[in-house]
Amino acid sequence: MDTLILIIAGATGAFAKDIIKDNKVLLPKIEDGSILLGFVGGIIIGAAAGYIVDNDPITAFLAGYTGSQIIENLLPPIEV
């Protein structure tokens, strides 16, 4: 049961970040044959980050909030 609480806390942190960042929630859509996950992608990353970090729901929330930013800073930039 504790694992589920950590996953939900991480997902909630990611969802809160999406709302605060743009003041809106981007819905998933298909564009030019590609699936854009919108807020669902952030929730998946946030849930994983919340599960990986310490066994505290507050820390899981904060890990979900910052999870996608950490991944973006670790990966090299994609040139278009």
For residue range 9-42, list pLDDT tens digits in order. 999 999 999 999 888 998 999 999 999 998 999 9
Is the pLDDT at 1 greater than 90? The verdict is no
Rounded Cα distance, 49 and 72, in Å: 14
Rounded Cα distance, 34 and 15, in Å: 22
At 19 the pLDDT is 92
DSSP 14-26: HHHHHHHHHSS-P
Q: What percent of the chain has pLDDT over 90?
A: 62
At 44 the pLDDT is 93
* Average pLDDT over the chain, rounded to an integer: 90
Closest CA to 52 of 66, 34, 41, 39: 66
What separation, in Å, do the N-terminal and C-terminal C-alpha atoms of the chain show? Answer: 43
Is the pLDDT at 80 greater than 80? The verdict is no
Domain boundaries, the chain: 2-68
What mean pLDDT comes out for the span 38-59?
A: 91
